[in-house]
Amino acid sequence: MYKWIFVSTYKYYSKFKNETPRFSAAAVVTVSQFTCVVLVLTLLKKLMLWDFTRYVPNKFVALPIMFGWMAVIYRYYSKERITVLLKVFDELPKWKRIFWGVMSVVFFVLPLILFAFAASKHNV
């Protein structure tokens, strides 16, 4: 799933002159994955199943983890792998390419919104 999100984001950012599409796509995938993990952890805490905050000394511990994960994703999607994925992506039907373009936005924004609701102090 995230490979198609990476490729659709890569294709979008490759249209701009001053953008580095590989880095931008890796950043989008990293933020999407990281917010999904944080959302799950927040929901587990909210449902009183597991309080992960007892194991984390402060909230800034997440930044090196996130940057490290982004480096892993950046290295995973090498130029050769991107070339192969772009070729396969271009062979998909148009509706699937549009679907994955929309899903890259959804998986980037939706976890952020859900996290805001889950982390709020007030129950709706």
How many other CB atoms sit within 10 Å of the CB of residue 73?
19
What three-state secondary structure class fits 15? Answer: coil
Q: Check the CA dihedral 91-96-98-99 and report its sign.
A: negative
Phi, psi of 80 (to 5 degrees): -65, -45
Query: How far apart are alpha carbons 2 and 29 in whole angstroms?
Result: 7
Q: What is the pLDDT of residues 27-71, one digit of tens each?
A: 999 988 988 888 888 888 888 777 777 777 777 888 899 999 999
Dump pLDDT digits (tens) for 67-121.
999 999 999 999 999 999 999 999 999 999 899 889 888 888 888 888 777 777 6
Q: Flag whether the pTM goes above 0.85.
A: no
